[in-house]
Amino acid sequence: MWEDDQLYLVGEALVGKVPELAHIDLIVGEKDGPVGQAFANGLSNVSAGHTPLLAVIRPNLPSKPFTLIVPKVTVKDMDQASKIFGPAQAAVAKAVADATEEGVIPQDKVDDLVIVCSVFIHPEAKDYRKIYQYNYGATRLALKRAFLGYPSLEKLMYDKDRATHPVMGFRVPRLWMPPYLQIALDIPDIARTKSILGALPRSDRIILEAGTPLIKKYGARVIHDLREIAKDVFIIADLKTLDVGQVEVDLAYEETADAVVASGLASKETLDKFIYEAKRLGIYAFVDMMDVKNPLETLRSLDELPDVVIIHRGIDEEHGGLTRWELIREIKSTFAGKKILVAVAGGIEPSTAPKALESGADILIVGRYITQSKDIERAARDFLKLLGVDMDLYRVHVE
Protein backbone atom coordinates (compact mmCIF):
# COMPACT_ATOMS: atom_id res chain seq x y z
CA MET A 1 0.00 0.00 0.00
CA TRP A 2 1.30 3.44 -0.98
CA GLU A 3 1.45 6.04 1.81
CA ASP A 4 1.77 9.70 0.85
CA ASP A 5 4.67 10.26 3.26
CA GLN A 6 6.76 7.43 1.79
CA LEU A 7 9.89 8.22 -0.18
CA TYR A 8 9.85 5.01 -2.20
CA LEU A 9 9.07 1.29 -2.25
CA VAL A 10 11.48 -1.50 -3.21
CA GLY A 11 10.66 -4.79 -4.91
CA GLU A 12 12.67 -7.77 -6.14
CA ALA A 13 11.88 -11.08 -7.84
CA LEU A 14 13.66 -13.87 -9.69
CA VAL A 15 11.67 -16.12 -12.05
CA GLY A 16 12.52 -18.84 -14.57
CA LYS A 17 15.58 -20.83 -15.55
CA VAL A 18 18.81 -19.95 -17.26
CA PRO A 19 19.57 -18.75 -19.82
CA GLU A 20 16.20 -16.95 -20.07
CA LEU A 21 15.98 -16.41 -16.30
CA ALA A 22 14.63 -13.00 -15.26
CA HIS A 23 15.81 -11.03 -12.24
CA ILE A 24 14.00 -7.78 -11.54
CA ASP A 25 14.95 -5.07 -9.03
CA LEU A 26 12.74 -2.00 -8.94
CA ILE A 27 11.93 1.11 -6.95
CA VAL A 28 8.65 3.03 -7.02
CA GLY A 29 8.28 6.62 -5.89
CA GLU A 30 6.80 10.03 -6.65
CA LYS A 31 8.01 12.22 -9.51
CA ASP A 32 9.05 15.00 -7.14
CA GLY A 33 10.99 12.66 -4.84
CA PRO A 34 14.29 10.76 -5.05
CA VAL A 35 12.89 8.13 -7.45
CA GLY A 36 11.68 10.89 -9.78
CA GLN A 37 15.16 12.41 -9.73
CA ALA A 38 16.73 9.00 -10.44
CA PHE A 39 14.24 8.48 -13.26
CA ALA A 40 15.11 11.82 -14.91
CA ASN A 41 18.87 11.32 -14.43
CA GLY A 42 18.71 7.81 -15.85
CA LEU A 43 16.79 8.90 -18.93
CA SER A 44 19.02 11.87 -19.62
CA ASN A 45 22.44 10.39 -18.71
CA VAL A 46 23.06 7.53 -21.10
CA SER A 47 25.97 5.14 -20.47
CA ALA A 48 27.47 2.83 -23.08
CA GLY A 49 25.96 -0.65 -22.94
CA HIS A 50 23.36 0.28 -20.31
CA THR A 51 21.04 2.59 -22.24
CA PRO A 52 17.85 3.14 -20.25
CA LEU A 53 14.53 2.91 -22.08
CA LEU A 54 10.88 3.47 -21.28
CA ALA A 55 8.68 0.42 -20.87
CA VAL A 56 6.18 0.33 -23.72
CA ILE A 57 3.43 -2.19 -24.43
CA ARG A 58 3.90 -1.41 -28.11
CA PRO A 59 5.60 1.50 -29.88
CA ASN A 60 3.94 4.78 -28.84
CA LEU A 61 2.09 3.18 -25.89
CA PRO A 62 4.06 3.44 -22.63
CA SER A 63 2.63 1.99 -19.47
CA LYS A 64 1.64 4.08 -16.46
CA PRO A 65 3.18 4.82 -14.06
CA PHE A 66 5.99 5.63 -16.49
CA THR A 67 8.67 3.01 -16.05
CA LEU A 68 12.37 3.27 -16.87
CA ILE A 69 14.12 0.00 -17.74
CA VAL A 70 17.85 -0.17 -16.97
CA PRO A 71 19.76 -3.18 -18.39
CA LYS A 72 21.96 -4.88 -15.78
CA VAL A 73 24.15 -6.71 -18.28
CA THR A 74 26.25 -4.67 -20.70
CA VAL A 75 24.58 -4.71 -24.13
CA LYS A 76 27.35 -5.34 -26.66
CA ASP A 77 25.54 -5.90 -29.96
CA MET A 78 22.18 -5.61 -31.70
CA ASP A 79 21.25 -9.20 -30.88
CA GLN A 80 21.42 -8.41 -27.18
CA ALA A 81 19.73 -5.04 -27.71
CA SER A 82 16.78 -6.65 -29.44
CA LYS A 83 16.05 -8.78 -26.37
CA ILE A 84 15.83 -5.64 -24.25
CA PHE A 85 14.06 -3.49 -26.86
CA GLY A 86 11.56 -6.26 -27.50
CA PRO A 87 10.30 -9.03 -25.20
CA ALA A 88 11.77 -7.57 -22.01
CA GLN A 89 10.48 -4.07 -22.69
CA ALA A 90 7.00 -5.35 -23.53
CA ALA A 91 6.94 -7.70 -20.55
CA VAL A 92 7.78 -5.00 -18.01
CA ALA A 93 5.27 -2.58 -19.53
CA LYS A 94 2.46 -5.14 -19.59
CA ALA A 95 3.21 -6.18 -16.01
CA VAL A 96 3.00 -2.54 -14.84
CA ALA A 97 -0.27 -2.02 -16.74
CA ASP A 98 -1.79 -5.22 -15.34
CA ALA A 99 -0.65 -4.37 -11.80
CA THR A 100 -2.41 -1.02 -12.18
CA GLU A 101 -5.57 -2.66 -13.51
CA GLU A 102 -5.49 -5.16 -10.64
CA GLY A 103 -5.15 -2.38 -8.07
CA VAL A 104 -1.69 -3.34 -6.84
CA ILE A 105 -0.60 0.11 -8.01
CA PRO A 106 -3.21 2.72 -6.93
CA GLN A 107 -4.91 3.99 -10.08
CA ASP A 108 -5.30 7.47 -8.62
CA LYS A 109 -1.50 7.70 -8.30
CA VAL A 110 -0.38 6.59 -11.77
CA ASP A 111 0.39 10.16 -12.86
CA ASP A 112 2.26 10.94 -9.66
CA LEU A 113 4.50 7.84 -9.46
CA VAL A 114 7.41 6.61 -11.57
CA ILE A 115 9.23 3.29 -11.54
CA VAL A 116 12.90 2.50 -12.13
CA CYS A 117 13.26 -1.16 -13.08
CA SER A 118 16.58 -2.98 -13.40
CA VAL A 119 16.36 -5.93 -15.83
CA PHE A 120 18.71 -8.89 -16.24
CA ILE A 121 18.94 -10.58 -19.64
CA HIS A 122 21.53 -13.34 -19.99
CA PRO A 123 23.69 -12.88 -23.13
CA GLU A 124 22.89 -16.50 -24.11
CA ALA A 125 19.11 -16.14 -23.81
CA LYS A 126 17.42 -17.08 -27.09
CA ASP A 127 13.75 -17.90 -26.53
CA TYR A 128 11.85 -14.60 -26.84
CA ARG A 129 8.63 -16.11 -25.48
CA LYS A 130 10.43 -17.24 -22.31
CA ILE A 131 12.19 -13.88 -21.99
CA TYR A 132 8.78 -12.22 -22.13
CA GLN A 133 7.09 -14.73 -19.84
CA TYR A 134 9.77 -14.70 -17.15
CA ASN A 135 10.24 -10.91 -17.13
CA TYR A 136 6.49 -10.35 -17.02
CA GLY A 137 6.13 -12.71 -14.07
CA ALA A 138 9.14 -11.29 -12.23
CA THR A 139 7.96 -7.68 -12.68
CA ARG A 140 4.43 -8.49 -11.48
CA LEU A 141 5.85 -10.28 -8.46
CA ALA A 142 8.34 -7.50 -7.67
CA LEU A 143 5.62 -4.87 -7.85
CA LYS A 144 3.31 -6.85 -5.60
CA ARG A 145 6.14 -7.37 -3.11
CA ALA A 146 7.00 -3.67 -3.18
CA PHE A 147 3.46 -2.56 -2.34
CA LEU A 148 3.03 -5.28 0.30
CA GLY A 149 6.34 -4.45 1.98
CA TYR A 150 7.71 -7.95 1.37
CA PRO A 151 9.52 -9.52 3.10
CA SER A 152 8.11 -9.00 6.56
CA LEU A 153 10.60 -8.99 9.41
CA GLU A 154 9.04 -12.25 10.64
CA LYS A 155 9.64 -13.88 7.23
CA LEU A 156 13.21 -12.61 7.13
CA MET A 157 14.01 -13.88 10.65
CA TYR A 158 12.45 -17.26 9.85
CA ASP A 159 14.34 -17.82 6.60
CA LYS A 160 17.67 -16.10 7.09
CA ASP A 161 19.44 -19.17 8.52
CA ARG A 162 17.48 -21.70 6.46
CA ALA A 163 17.99 -20.18 3.04
CA THR A 164 20.56 -21.27 0.46
CA HIS A 165 21.57 -18.98 -2.39
CA PRO A 166 21.32 -21.04 -5.60
CA VAL A 167 24.28 -19.45 -7.37
CA MET A 168 26.72 -20.12 -4.50
CA GLY A 169 26.44 -23.88 -4.80
CA PHE A 170 26.85 -24.54 -1.08
CA ARG A 171 25.05 -23.89 2.20
CA VAL A 172 26.24 -21.71 5.05
CA PRO A 173 24.73 -23.49 8.06
CA ARG A 174 23.85 -21.62 11.24
CA LEU A 175 22.79 -22.86 14.66
CA TRP A 176 19.20 -21.66 14.47
CA MET A 177 17.21 -24.67 15.67
CA PRO A 178 18.79 -26.71 18.49
CA PRO A 179 19.39 -29.36 19.67
CA TYR A 180 22.45 -30.45 17.69
CA LEU A 181 24.84 -33.37 17.76
CA GLN A 182 28.44 -32.10 17.68
CA ILE A 183 30.83 -34.86 16.68
CA ALA A 184 34.31 -34.33 18.10
CA LEU A 185 36.89 -35.48 15.57
CA ASP A 186 39.77 -35.93 17.99
CA ILE A 187 41.67 -38.75 16.29
CA PRO A 188 44.96 -37.23 14.96
CA ASP A 189 44.75 -39.14 11.69
CA ILE A 190 43.30 -37.33 8.67
CA ALA A 191 42.66 -40.49 6.66
CA ARG A 192 40.75 -42.07 9.55
CA THR A 193 38.87 -38.82 10.13
CA LYS A 194 37.77 -38.62 6.52
CA SER A 195 36.56 -42.22 6.63
CA ILE A 196 34.48 -41.31 9.70
CA LEU A 197 32.93 -38.39 7.83
CA GLY A 198 32.07 -40.66 4.93
CA ALA A 199 30.24 -43.06 7.26
CA LEU A 200 28.11 -40.45 9.05
CA PRO A 201 24.41 -40.17 8.16
CA ARG A 202 23.29 -36.97 6.46
CA SER A 203 21.46 -34.77 8.94
CA ASP A 204 21.01 -31.04 9.50
CA ARG A 205 21.41 -31.74 13.20
CA ILE A 206 25.01 -32.94 12.87
CA ILE A 207 27.79 -30.39 13.30
CA LEU A 208 31.49 -31.22 13.29
CA GLU A 209 34.37 -30.33 15.57
CA ALA A 210 37.93 -30.35 14.32
CA GLY A 211 39.34 -31.52 17.63
CA THR A 212 42.43 -30.13 19.33
CA PRO A 213 44.63 -33.24 18.70
CA LEU A 214 43.71 -33.19 15.00
CA ILE A 215 44.55 -29.49 14.68
CA LYS A 216 47.75 -29.85 16.67
CA LYS A 217 49.01 -32.49 14.25
CA TYR A 218 47.92 -30.94 10.94
CA GLY A 219 47.41 -27.28 11.77
CA ALA A 220 44.33 -25.17 11.07
CA ARG A 221 44.61 -26.22 7.42
CA VAL A 222 42.89 -29.49 8.39
CA ILE A 223 39.57 -27.58 8.54
CA HIS A 224 39.90 -26.80 4.85
CA ASP A 225 40.67 -30.49 4.20
CA LEU A 226 37.49 -31.53 6.00
CA ARG A 227 35.51 -29.24 3.70
CA GLU A 228 36.36 -31.56 0.80
CA ILE A 229 33.93 -34.07 2.29
CA ALA A 230 31.72 -31.92 4.53
CA LYS A 231 31.14 -28.96 2.21
CA ASP A 232 27.80 -27.88 3.69
CA VAL A 233 28.35 -28.84 7.35
CA PHE A 234 28.93 -26.47 10.28
CA ILE A 235 32.58 -26.96 11.35
CA ILE A 236 34.05 -25.83 14.68
CA ALA A 237 37.78 -25.34 15.23
CA ASP A 238 38.55 -26.46 18.79
CA LEU A 239 41.68 -24.39 19.35
CA LYS A 240 41.12 -24.03 23.12
CA THR A 241 42.63 -20.57 22.80
CA LEU A 242 44.42 -19.29 25.90
CA ASP A 243 46.28 -16.33 24.43
CA VAL A 244 46.32 -14.09 21.32
CA GLY A 245 42.56 -14.69 20.88
CA GLN A 246 42.22 -12.38 17.92
CA VAL A 247 45.02 -14.07 15.99
CA GLU A 248 43.67 -17.58 16.51
CA VAL A 249 40.17 -16.58 15.41
CA ASP A 250 41.69 -15.23 12.21
CA LEU A 251 43.55 -18.53 11.62
CA ALA A 252 40.35 -20.56 11.91
CA TYR A 253 38.37 -18.07 9.84
CA GLU A 254 40.86 -18.17 6.97
CA GLU A 255 40.41 -21.94 6.80
CA THR A 256 36.58 -21.55 6.53
CA ALA A 257 35.65 -22.56 10.10
CA ASP A 258 32.11 -21.63 11.10
CA ALA A 259 33.07 -21.41 14.77
CA VAL A 260 36.13 -21.38 17.00
CA VAL A 261 36.67 -22.44 20.62
CA ALA A 262 38.55 -20.62 23.38
CA SER A 263 39.28 -21.92 26.86
CA GLY A 264 37.35 -20.25 29.67
CA LEU A 265 40.64 -20.29 31.59
CA ALA A 266 42.01 -17.56 29.32
CA SER A 267 42.24 -14.02 30.69
CA LYS A 268 39.29 -11.65 30.37
CA GLU A 269 41.31 -9.58 27.88
CA THR A 270 41.97 -12.60 25.68
CA LEU A 271 38.34 -13.75 25.79
CA ASP A 272 37.02 -10.27 25.03
CA LYS A 273 39.29 -9.98 21.99
CA PHE A 274 38.45 -13.53 20.94
CA ILE A 275 34.67 -12.95 21.08
CA TYR A 276 34.92 -9.53 19.45
CA GLU A 277 36.94 -10.85 16.53
CA ALA A 278 34.66 -13.86 15.99
CA LYS A 279 31.56 -11.71 15.91
CA ARG A 280 33.28 -9.15 13.66
CA LEU A 281 34.05 -11.88 11.14
CA GLY A 282 30.60 -13.45 11.42
CA ILE A 283 31.58 -16.80 12.94
CA TYR A 284 30.51 -18.31 16.26
CA ALA A 285 32.53 -17.88 19.44
CA PHE A 286 32.51 -20.95 21.73
CA VAL A 287 33.97 -20.76 25.25
CA ASP A 288 34.87 -24.08 26.89
CA MET A 289 34.41 -24.01 30.68
CA MET A 290 36.48 -27.13 31.42
CA ASP A 291 38.29 -26.61 34.77
CA VAL A 292 36.70 -23.15 35.21
CA LYS A 293 35.60 -22.98 38.85
CA ASN A 294 32.85 -20.39 38.37
CA PRO A 295 31.61 -20.21 34.75
CA LEU A 296 28.87 -17.70 35.62
CA GLU A 297 31.39 -15.32 37.14
CA THR A 298 33.56 -15.64 34.02
CA LEU A 299 30.61 -14.93 31.74
CA ARG A 300 29.49 -11.91 33.80
CA SER A 301 32.96 -10.40 33.55
CA LEU A 302 33.01 -10.36 29.74
CA ASP A 303 32.25 -7.31 27.60
CA GLU A 304 30.11 -9.49 25.32
CA LEU A 305 28.75 -13.01 25.72
CA PRO A 306 29.99 -15.84 23.49
CA ASP A 307 27.52 -17.56 21.17
CA VAL A 308 28.00 -20.94 22.85
CA VAL A 309 29.15 -21.98 26.33
CA ILE A 310 30.50 -25.51 26.75
CA ILE A 311 29.95 -27.27 30.08
CA HIS A 312 32.81 -29.71 29.74
CA ARG A 313 33.95 -32.64 31.84
CA GLY A 314 37.44 -33.67 30.79
CA ILE A 315 38.25 -37.25 29.81
CA ASP A 316 40.43 -37.59 32.90
CA GLU A 317 37.47 -36.57 35.13
CA GLU A 318 34.76 -38.79 33.66
CA HIS A 319 35.20 -41.52 36.26
CA GLY A 320 34.08 -39.04 38.94
CA GLY A 321 30.50 -39.00 37.67
CA LEU A 322 29.98 -35.22 38.10
CA THR A 323 28.46 -33.40 35.11
CA ARG A 324 27.71 -29.81 36.31
CA TRP A 325 24.59 -29.85 34.11
CA GLU A 326 22.78 -27.75 36.72
CA LEU A 327 24.81 -24.86 35.25
CA ILE A 328 22.79 -25.03 32.02
CA ARG A 329 19.64 -23.61 33.59
CA GLU A 330 21.66 -21.18 35.72
CA ILE A 331 23.33 -19.75 32.62
CA LYS A 332 20.06 -19.49 30.71
CA SER A 333 18.20 -17.86 33.60
CA THR A 334 21.05 -15.47 34.40
CA PHE A 335 21.25 -14.31 30.79
CA ALA A 336 17.55 -14.58 29.93
CA GLY A 337 16.78 -12.63 26.77
CA LYS A 338 20.32 -13.04 25.47
CA LYS A 339 21.05 -15.28 22.51
CA ILE A 340 23.32 -17.92 24.02
CA LEU A 341 23.47 -21.69 23.52
CA VAL A 342 24.84 -24.24 25.99
CA ALA A 343 26.74 -27.37 24.93
CA VAL A 344 27.66 -30.32 27.11
CA ALA A 345 30.71 -32.54 26.67
CA GLY A 346 32.48 -35.36 28.44
CA GLY A 347 31.48 -39.00 28.16
CA ILE A 348 28.05 -38.30 26.62
CA GLU A 349 26.29 -41.54 25.66
CA PRO A 350 22.72 -42.33 24.52
CA SER A 351 21.86 -43.35 28.09
CA THR A 352 22.91 -39.95 29.52
CA ALA A 353 21.89 -37.74 26.58
CA PRO A 354 18.16 -37.52 27.55
CA LYS A 355 19.09 -36.11 30.97
CA ALA A 356 21.36 -33.54 29.31
CA LEU A 357 18.57 -32.51 26.96
CA GLU A 358 16.08 -32.32 29.84
CA SER A 359 18.54 -30.07 31.65
CA GLY A 360 18.38 -27.65 28.70
CA ALA A 361 21.44 -28.59 26.63
CA ASP A 362 21.35 -27.21 23.09
CA ILE A 363 24.33 -29.20 21.80
CA LEU A 364 25.52 -32.70 22.70
CA ILE A 365 29.27 -33.04 22.07
CA VAL A 366 30.13 -36.68 21.42
CA GLY A 367 33.49 -38.15 20.44
CA ARG A 368 34.57 -41.70 21.17
CA TYR A 369 31.09 -43.26 21.26
CA ILE A 370 30.78 -42.41 17.56
CA THR A 371 34.32 -42.03 16.21
CA GLN A 372 35.58 -45.28 17.76
CA SER A 373 32.45 -47.29 17.01
CA LYS A 374 32.54 -50.30 14.70
CA ASP A 375 29.29 -48.96 13.20
CA ILE A 376 29.65 -45.20 12.98
CA GLU A 377 26.33 -44.58 11.26
CA ARG A 378 24.38 -46.57 13.86
CA ALA A 379 26.21 -44.86 16.72
CA ALA A 380 25.36 -41.43 15.33
CA ARG A 381 21.72 -42.42 14.82
CA ASP A 382 21.54 -43.50 18.48
CA PHE A 383 21.78 -39.78 19.28
CA LEU A 384 19.89 -38.37 16.30
CA LYS A 385 16.72 -40.24 17.23
CA LEU A 386 16.79 -38.34 20.54
CA LEU A 387 17.02 -34.95 18.83
CA GLY A 388 13.91 -35.09 16.63
CA VAL A 389 13.44 -34.90 12.87
CA ASP A 390 15.72 -32.92 10.62
CA MET A 391 14.71 -29.29 10.64
CA ASP A 392 14.29 -29.07 6.85
CA LEU A 393 12.61 -32.46 6.36
CA TYR A 394 9.15 -31.07 5.68
CA ARG A 395 10.12 -27.70 4.22
CA VAL A 396 8.85 -27.03 0.70
CA HIS A 397 10.54 -24.36 -1.42
CA VAL A 398 7.71 -22.22 -2.77
CA GLU A 399 9.50 -19.16 -4.13
Model confidence at 146, pLDDT cuts 50, 70, 90, reads very high
At 318 the pLDDT is 46
Residue 171 domain flag: no
Same domain for 263 and 330, yes or no, is yes
**Same domain, residue pair 146 and 268:** no
In this prediction, residues 269-276 reach a mean pLDDT of: 95
Residue 221 domain-assigned (yes or no)? yes
pLDDT tens digits, 234-249: 999 999 999 888 899 9
Lowest-pLDDT range of 132-141, 194-203, 322-331: 322-331
State pLDDT tens for residues 51-109.
Answer: 899 999 999 999 999 999 999 988 888 888 899 899 999 999 999 999 999 999 999 99
pLDDT level of residue 46 (50, 70, 90 thresholds): confident
Instruction: Say whether both 141 and 13 belong to one domain.
Output: yes
What pTM, to 2 d.p., does this model score? Answer: 0.77
d(CA 127, CA 163) in angstroms, rounded, equals: 30
For residue 182, what pLDDT is reported? 97
Same domain, 205 and 338: yes
142 with 281, same domain? no
Q: Is 319 a catalytic residue?
A: no
From 23, 50, 122, 312, the catalytic residue: 23
Q: Is there a domain that residue 393 lies in?
A: no
**DSSP 8-state class, residue 330:** H
Rounded-to-integer distance, Cα 81 and Cα 58, Å: 16
* The pLDDT of residue 392: 54
What's the domain range around 222? 180-387
Residues 380 and 286 in one domain: yes
Lowest mean pLDDT among 10-14, 137-141, 143-147, 227-231: 227-231
**191 and 81 together in one domain:** no
CATH code for position 246? 3.20.20.70
Q: What is the pLDDT of residues 91-105, one digit of tens each?
A: 999 999 999 999 999
**Do 123 and 194 fall into the same domain?**
no
Per-residue pLDDT of 108-143, as tens digits, reads 999 999 999 999 999 999 999 999 999 999 999 999
pLDDT of residue 97: 97
Q: How many structural domains comprise the chain? A: 2
DSSP-based three-state secondary structure for 204: coil
Task: Please tell me whether residues 137 and 25 are part of one structural domain.
Answer: yes
Please indicate, yes or no, if residue 2 is contained in any of the structural domains.
no
pLDDT the model gives residue 186: 93
Compute φ and ψ for 89, nearest 5 degrees. -60, -45
Is the torsion defined by CA of 142, 145, 147, 150 positive or negative? negative
Has residue 174 been placed in a domain? no
**Is there a domain that residue 330 lies in?**
yes
Residue 292 sits in the same domain as residue 377 = yes
Within a domain: residue 58? yes
Sign of CA dihedral 265, 266, 269, 275: negative
| CA 288 to each of CA 18, 170, 221, 303: distance values in angstroms, whole numbers, following the listed order | 47, 29, 22, 17
Domain limit, last residue, from 104, 135, 150: 150
- For 203, phi then psi, to 5°, come to -160, 135
In a domain, 215, yes or no: yes
Q: Are residues 235 and 347 in the same domain?
A: yes
Residue 288 forms beta bridges with which residues?
Answer: 263, 310
CATH number reported for the structural domain that contains residue 66 in this entry: 3.30.230.60
- pLDDT of 396 above 50: no
Residue 300 has pLDDT above 60, yes or no: yes
Same domain, yes or no, for 117 and 222? no
